[in-house]
Structure formats: C-alpha cells, structure tokens
Amino acid sequence: MEVILAKTAGFCFGVKRAVDTVYEQTGKGNVYTYGPIIHNEEVVKDLESKGVKVLNSEAELRALDKGTVVIRSHGVDRHIYDIINENNLELIDATCPFVKKIHNIADKDSSVGRQIVIIGSREHPEVQGICGWCNSEPVVLESIDDAIAYTNDTGSDLSIVAQTTFNHNNFNKIVEIFEKKGYNITVYNTICNATAMRQKEAADIAGQVDAMIVIGGRNSSNTQKLYDISKKECANTYYIQTLDDLDLATFESVDRVGITAGASTPHQIIKEVHGSMADDFGKLFEESLAEENRISQGKIVKGTVIDVKDDEIILNINYKADGIITKAEYSNDPSISLKDKVHVDDVIEAKVIKTNDGDGQVLLSVKRVAAEKANEELASAFENGEILKGVVTQAVKGGLVTSVGEARVFIPASLVSDTFENDLSKFVNQEIEFKLVEFEPRARKIIGDRKSLVKAEKEAAKKALFDRINVGDTVEGTVKNVTDFGAFIDLGGADGLLHISEMSWGRVDNPKKHFKVGDQVRAFIKDIQGEKIALSLKFEDTNPWVAAGDKYAVGNIVIGRVARMTDFGAFVELEPGVDALLHVSQISREHIDKPSSVLSVGQEIEAKVVDCRLEERKISLSMKELLPEIDEESNDYVDEEPVEKADTAEEAPVEEAAPVTEDTAAEATEEETDEAAGSGTEETPAEDSEE
C-alpha cells in the first residue's frame, strides 16, 4: 500500500504559537484560556491535566479576581480586553496575527461608515471576535446562497473580509456575486495562506488516491472544510480524531491512501495514524495478496451472465456472492436497453466497485473498465499529439462534452473553433475531431482542442486555393456575408469580395436584394492583392456595349425607362448596363426648367439616338427630334417634310438634337458628362475586398 501524507498537515503558525504560549504558562497556577485554546479535545485535556482551565463564558471571566488569561488564536471581542484589565488580570494575547489584521480592518473601515461584510460561520469564535471589533452592526454571510439573497439596503460602501479558514474557492465565488450586483466594494482576502495551501493540497491528494483520511477535532471548522473538499474528490473519505477512530478493515481493498489534518491537529496524532497505515495495515495488505480468489475493490473480474433484468445484470464471478451491474454502471447512455445488449451466458469483464452493495452482493462496473481502457488510449494520444474523434453528447455553457468510448473529454467554448460560436448546441450528436491539451484523469481534467485543427485546416485550404487561382479565372463559391458595399464569397480557403459595382453591368442599389447567405455564385477573379481577392460578375461576353453600336446607332428610334434624373437631364436605361442621357433641352420643343416637371422615374419613353460614342460608352437621346416643329406665327405644330435617312452619322441632321458635344458642354458640367457614361465602368480596387 502507498500512503501519501500532506506536507501542510497539522498545526498552522497561529495555532502552534498559541498552544506553545499556554504550555509555557503551565506550572504558574491560576492559568486560564478564554475558550478552548484549540479545537482539539486531546490537547485541551492534556493542558487541563497541567492545571490550565478553560473559561467558557464572559460571566466566568468577570468572576475572576486574579490569574493569567490567555487569549486564543481565534481572537475575541474588544470588550473582553476591557474586562481583563478592569479585574487586574494578567493578559497574554495569543491571537493569530492574521486574525488581528482582520480586527484592524473591521475597526478602521467601520469607523468611516463602511458596512463590514464577514464571510464565515457566525457561530465560529473567530467570526464572533471580528464582529466585536466593528463600530456598527456587521453582516455575516455563511454561504453562496446567503450572498445571492443579500441586498445592500443602506447603500453604504462595503468592506468584505473572510474567516481565515474559509473555503478559498467559495470566497471567490461570493466576491464575484457582489461584483455582479454592482455594489461599491473593497475586498480583503484575509484567508490564511496556510489554509489555502492546505485546502489545495488536500484536493490534489484526494484526487489521486482510493481512500482519504482527514484528522482533526470534531469542532474544528478548518478540518471540516478539509473533509468536505476531500469528499468531493474521493468518495471514500474518513474523518477521525485519533488513531482509535481508525478501522483498518475499512481499507483492506485500497492501493493508495491519502492523509491530511486540520490546523488544530497535533503532529503526534498525525504521526500515529501515518505509522499505523504504513506498518500495521501494510502487513495486513500483504497478507491479503496471498488469497488468490479474493474479491477486492478496484479489481478487474470476469463473470458469466446468469440473468438480465431491465435495470441490472447478474453475473457468476466464482465468488461467494454474485456480481451486480446496474444500468448506470453498464453505460452512460440512459436510453440503452440491457436486454437488447446483453444475454445469458455472455462473458463480461467488469471492475469491482464495492465488495458488498448492502445486500451481500458485489457491485461491478463495465463502463469504468471501458473508461480506463479509453483513458489509456487518450494518454497515448496526448503524449503523441494524435488527432482523436469523439461524439458530442452535451453542449453546456462553458463548452462541449464529447465521448471517446466511455471516457469523456471537455472542449472549452474558446477551443471549439477559431471564431466565436454563439450556438454550441448545433454540435450535439456530431462526430468532431480534436487534440488533447490537458490529460489529468484522476483530477477529471481531460481537455480537448478543436480550434487548432480548424485553423490548420483553413490554412491548408487557403494555401491550396492561392496556389491554383490566377487573375481571370472563373471560380464558384458560397455567399458568406452581404453588406451595403458588396458580398463576401467563400471560395473554399479564402473569401473573395464581390463589390457592388461588379455585381452587374447595370446599376445595383442594394446588394441584399440580389444575394443572400448560402447562395451559390459563379464569378471571375478580377484582381489578387496579397490575400485579398476581388471578384466580378461582369463577364465580357455579357457586356451589353459589345452590340451597342448596331442597336443604338445615330438615328435609331429606341424605347427606354427613366432610371434617374438631375437638373440637366434624365438618364434612360435602354437595357441593363446601358444608360443614355436625355438632356433637358432635348425633351420638348418648349422650354423646360427641370426634367422632373414632365418625366418621372420608371416612366417608359421613346426617343431618337442623336449621338453614340462607344469608346466613351456615351449615348445621347432626343425626344424633341420625334416631335413636329412649331410655327412661330401660329404657335402650332406644322407638318415636316420627310427626311431621307442619312448614310452616315455625319450626314444626319443633328444640329437640333443637342447631343452632349461642344455645343451643350456649357450646359452640362464635366461631372454631368461623366455621369452620362452610365454604369458598368467603375473599377473595383482589390483593397475593397477586406470586410
């Protein structure tokens, strides 16, 4: 048997100092301690045998007229000092310096109107002593539930202190609760360093042993906390005061035993228990090995199924009692049917959990054997950096729980992906890949990392993409995001930006009306700048200007739709990507101030092409050319002589058409002339391809 003794077990500095102080006073006569000097009956009895008496109340103290009074390490109320001085008694103050520090904080902060909040047991003498140093009524909170229920009705600033032996983790949780409530707090972490170290060491040892022994007085608060902490890590935890409380038979089937002790436990008692476990019990354990067929806790046995019920399996394990495997110890899946999975005469390997389940039968576990085997595989994967696969069984607030065989691996939310995953539930029942970054099965810390694999996979896909693509290539992708200025297309390794100006030869006002997330898009690569890819849907074979020379030759009559208007004219869409300018002077033979006075957006009009410059992608129209002339004398329309169609644009009678030429340049600014070029000529810099 292996016995692990905590290094921090036994007297802490403050307790040792107080106990030594009392022992120094023995033999003087009339020596008293105000309350038991230590929460250990053995030490108190020994001091009483040496003449030291315990004062259990303030009344007993007031009744004294001589003697020496020792204040124990827990400290006392301020007025106890006054009574001792008033009765002319000798005072020896053995208050722990760490406790004294809390007294000073309580005195100072409460004197300036701050509310003192004490985290600890209100029945503990240390807490009662702290209360006695407050200049106003303090608040005592014993638990996390107390902190949740607390409300600061006075609105005062708060000063938070803790009993020196309070559970360190629970103290931090309570402070967090106060922070979330938004109170103005000052936190003093007054938990003794030795206490925090003792609690951490107890948890560490309990997590790696089969049984845990906690030694200390029944009234010791810090020992009780050590027991509670150890019990969470090791179900087989035992609380004893002395060696007499230790039943060696309880530990017959264990391989490793841990021992710790409270701050009030004398080293002599610790030594006796440790020696007994290492010597006497060690011999008992060696003798037990000679029994070949002995059934012991933790042993792996094989048995033959003799019966299968809805909630348990019964095995013959060649022992005086049958073996029982409950449904919960067969699998982690509560929906499983034992009768479908197991049949009579099947041979099953299982681990002994208890040699007696209370009914005289041996309690066995199949899933723990599977978990141990899975842990062996996980240990190898952790050491070699192997990629594992597991099914996500649960999504919790902090991450994902995955199952690898019967072993469970936790993947924190921060390690699930390379981007924040708002909905972890979508991974449930999926098989995912991950690596192990922490593997401490005894401490139940098996941590997986999927993020690094996702990043590596994306980097590989990105490299492969950039290795094969070039400017001008046609690519296919999926719309990933749509913004006001364009759409981002997932090309399988990197995103490309399809700018609003490259979505169509025509004008696009709102990309969200044309694309939605998940759409499949076929585009060509217009530019590549580093890792930025600019895409375009303006394929040259769909360029409407290619055939515009024939369709919109000077003199042709065309039909279009008013797309937009300015003060100097209206832009008419002849087809998507081809806009023409209808100058205000070419709308009517009558004077018009603004196009909007006679036209409206969306209106269909008929007009004559009076100018077409393909190299500049500019077309000018005239509605006036299709109207008869007005007789100046009669102010009425006159019939025009038919005009033969000119063979060339130069022979066409265009002097009245007022195209956007030098004659009309005075009426339209350079900016207006550029706008007359219509849509589809805008360049898309690759720099815009970043979200």
Among all residues, which ones are annotated catalytic?
Answer: 126
DSSP state, 359? S
What gap in Å lies between CA 241 and CA 41, rounded to an integer?
9
Instruction: Report the Cα 578 to chain-centroid distance in Å.
Output: 53
- Name beta bridge partners: 520: 478
What gap in Å lies between CA 222 and CA 412, rounded to an integer?
33
DSSP conformation letters of 187-247: E---S-HHHHHHHHHHHHHHTT-SEEEEE--TT-HHHHHHHHHHHHH-SSEEEESSGGG--
What gap in Å lies between CA 102 and CA 163, rounded to an integer?
9
Amino acid at 323: G
The SS3 assignment for 20 reads helix
Are 619 and 548 in contact by the 8 Å Cβ rule? The answer is yes
- Name beta bridge partners: 401: 394, 410
Record the tokens describing residue 485, joined without a space.
Answer: 């200025």
- Closest by CA position to 81, among listed 97, 99, 69: 69
Are 536 and 498 in contact by the 8 Å Cβ rule? The answer is yes
Burial class of residue 162 (count of CB atoms within 10 Å of its CB; 0-12, 13-18, 19+):
buried
Are 247 and 236 in contact by the 8 Å Cβ rule? The answer is no
Residues 6+ positions from 599 with CB-CB distance below 8 Å? 562, 565, 570, 587, 605
Instruction: Report the Cα 526 to chain-centroid distance in Å.
Output: 40
Record the tokens describing residue 579, joined without a space.
Answer: 């806009």
- Name beta bridge partners: 433: 389
Cα distances from 426 to residues 393, 405, 416, in angstroms, run 11, 21, 12
Record the tokens describing residue 530, joined without a space.
Answer: 């580093």
- List the end-to-end C-alpha distance of the chain, in Å, as a whole number: 64
The SS3 assignment for 542 reads helix
Amino acid at 413: A
What gap in Å lies between CA 183 and CA 174, rounded to an integer?
13
Amino acid at 679: S
The SS3 assignment for 277 reads helix
- Closest by CA position to 204, among listed 444, 1, 446: 444
Amino acid at 290: A
The beta-strand segments (E) located in 397-472 are 399-404, 407-412, 431-440, 445-449
What gap in Å lies between CA 487 and CA 45, rounded to an integer?
83
- Name beta bridge partners: 613: 618
What gap in Å lies between CA 3 and CA 553, rounded to an integer?
102
